Amino acid sequence: MKRLLWFLIAGGSGFLIDAGITLALIEWTPAGPYIARAIAIFAAMGFTWFVNRNYTFGRSSHSLTIEGIRYWTVGITAALVNYVVYSVLLYRAPVLQPLAAIVFASLAGMAYSFFGYSRFVFRR
């Protein structure tokens, strides 16, 4: 239960970083919602690695390099799931606000990443 709570804290914080950067870039730069989201996902992923490694799952038995490669592999594929869901929602429902699409896409990515991190990256 503690692991799930920390994962939700990491993910919730990552979501705030993701949404905040996405919306800030859309508002204050010429980046559109797609470019802004790609940048934001990577910023959020760096933060969640730190929290998941230090609080949620603990360090793995692998070297930092191997752990990092595995984390980013799961993270990038989760980000792709997240981004595809986000893009499809915006494309298929153009009246949908980007923030609503981020919520639904993040839930899909969260489910994928929890199982990937717990079973592939931080498994001991």
pLDDT value at residue 43: 92
pLDDT value at residue 42: 86
pLDDT value at residue 23: 95
Q: Which residue in 113, 84, 77, 115 sits closest to 101, CA to CA? A: 84
pLDDT value at residue 89: 94
Say if residues 22 and 33 touch (Cβ distance below 8 Å): yes
Q: pLDDT digits over 40-62, tens only?
A: 988 998 899 899 999 999 888 88
Band of the pLDDT at 124, cuts 50, 70, 90? low
Domain coordinates in residue numbering, the chain: 2-121
pLDDT value at residue 40: 93
Half-sphere exposure of 103 (CA within 13 A, CB side): 5
Say if residues 78 and 85 touch (Cβ distance below 8 Å): no
